[in-house]
A and B are shown apart, each in its own frame.
Chain A
Amino acid sequence: EIVMTQSPATLSVSPGERATLSCWASQSVTNDLAWYQQKPGQPPRLLISGASTRAAGVPARFSGSGSGTEFTLTISSLQSEDFAIYYCQEYSNWRGPFTFGPGTKVDIK
């Protein structure tokens, strides 16, 4: 089973600032990596798939990069609605399991 790691656990950012979130896989997942945003009391929301493809309706301030074992989610200019927890998930092996990372909480500085 692939193990996903995220850093930092918590990121304190001021509105308008840039946020950079990292995700690592214990072995190569090529570009089969998704990012999700979750707010309290809500299900996760897909932001990015294929490491860098934004889902429909996701603002352009969200961008994903990386391949293999190292990935990054960048939020170029944080808006108030972006304060949430962000999870990465690998989905490289059709048999599964499709493992999520432990999450990065982005909160207001």
Chain B
Amino acid sequence: EVQLVQSGTAVKKPGESLKISCEVSRYDFATYWIAWVRQMPGKGPEWMGTIYPPDSDTRYSPSFQGQVTMSVDKTISTAYLQWTSLRASDTATYYCARHPSSGWHIDYWGQGTRVIVSS
């Protein structure tokens, strides 16, 4: 079955940088867009943006444009989400997920990476 395996919990201080990863397997990484979704504690999911691995074409939600950077490494079927300067408000669980070819919904999700930003 399709798998998206994310990096583990990250505990950081405000102002620090962070890059989290999402390694996919059991499907062709080059065929599907990969999304990132934020879920703050006790809140609903928020779609942050999506990236197309073959050419790194990226679309960001206006709410996240300029706040994060999405990237991929096709050689190891891995997608990344990074911050240059974290804030306490970035504390959340971040999911990578796959858009199927049939639409812009999400058919497979990673297990989530918890990011804690605290001084």
With both chains docked as a complex, state the minimum distance between the C-beta of A100 and any C-beta of chain B, in angstroms: 5
Is chain A's binding surface mostly helix, strand, loop or mixed? loop
Pairwise interchain contact A100-B44, C-beta atoms closer than 8 A: yes
Is chain B's binding surface mostly helix, strand, loop or mixed? loop
B111 at the interface (CB under 8 A from A): yes
Query: CB within 8 A of A96: which of B61, B100, B110?
Result: B61
Which residues of B come within 8 Å of A, CB atoms? Answer: 35, 44-47, 49-50, 59, 61-63, 95, 97, 100, 102-107, 109-112
Name 6 extra pairs, CB < 8 A, besides A89-B45, A98-B47. A34-B103, A45-B109, A95-B59, A96-B59, A97-B62, A100-B46
Which residues of A come within 8 Å of B, CB atoms? Answer: 1, 32, 34, 36, 43-46, 49-50, 55, 87, 89, 91, 94-103
